[in-house]
Amino acid sequence: MARPRGPGERAGLDTDQVLAAARDVLRDSGVSGLSLRAVARRLGVAPNAIYSHVGSRDELLDAVLDDVLAEVRLPFAGEVARDPLGAVRAIMLASYDVLLRHPGLMPSYLDRQGSRGVQAQQLGVVTLEALGRAGLTEPAAREAMRVLIVNTIGFAAFSARPTGSPPGVMSAVELRANFLRGLDWLLDGIAR
């Protein structure tokens, strides 16, 4: 839209703007459409300009992923103290709902063994603390958390219909109930 820039002329971008554009592309075109070139196009810059703000496409995916996880509401300290496993349940359910709004992102998430971003780390810290308050040792808590995360991300991936695809045999409500059933089985096993 603006006048084209010559070499040496700056666009005034920063990493946050690149990330925001990436999330826009993700929303409009899904994860398969989330290319560096598409992001650059949306920002009105040359394709390789992105490399000034992010090291590679994988780094961009990681950053977007972590950005999405910021939407997950964390329980207050009081909630954790009162009902630790209930807090864990709330975290997993909130994560499921958030991830479900971003179909296509979870496969690469699992591939990467979970995000190492700050938001993901914070979710992990709170979950581990709650599991500790529920009586688990730290190694046991880590084991339990891994199972819970795999279940949550996996079910979100399974539940997510690619954008613009036919409704599928199961409704979103049924899928969510199915996820909750599995989650409660796991929490029962963890509590035992």
Residue 83's H or E segment, with its range, is none
CA distances in angstroms from 156 to 18, 72, 103, listed in the order given: 26, 14, 8
In degrees, rounded to 5, the angle at the alpha carbon of residue 181 between the alpha carbons of residues 176 and 182 is: 100
| Single-letter amino acid code for the residue at 15 | T
Is 77 a binder of a copy of itself (CB under 8 A)?
Answer: no
Distance in Å, CB of 160 to a copy of itself, minimum: 8
Q: Which does 166 bind (CB under 5 to 8 A by kind): a copy of itself, DNA, none?
A: none
Q: Give the separation between CA 136 and CA 188, rounded to whole angstroms.
A: 13
Q: Give the separation between CA 111 and CA 120, rounded to whole angstroms.
A: 15
Kindly indicate which of the ranges 2-10, 100-108, 130-138, 141-149 contains the residues binding DNA, using the contact rule CB under 7 A.
2-10
What six digits make up the tokens of 61?
């995916």
Residue 102, number of CB atoms within 10 A of its CB: 22
DSSP state of 52: G
Is 114 a binder of a copy of itself (CB under 8 A)?
Answer: yes
Distance in Å, CB of 179 to a copy of itself, minimum: 8
Binder of DNA out of 16, 27, 28, 52 (CB under 7 A): 52
Q: Which of 17, 24, 1, 4 is nearest to 52 (CA)?
A: 17
Is 167 a binder of a copy of itself (CB under 8 A)?
Answer: no
User: Which residues within the stretch 140-159 sit at the binding site for a copy of itself (CB under 8 A)?
Assistant: 143, 146-147, 150-151, 153-155, 157-158
Size of the site for a copy of itself (CB under 8 A): 30
User: Which residues within the stretch 10-49 sit at the binding site for DNA (CB under 7 A)?
Assistant: 10-14, 33, 35-38, 44-49
Distance in Å, CB of 94 to a copy of itself, minimum: 18
> Between 36 and 43, whose beta carbon lies closer to a copy of itself?
36
Q: Give the footprint of DNA on this chain (CB under 7 A).
A: 4-14, 33, 35-38, 44-49, 51-53, 56-58
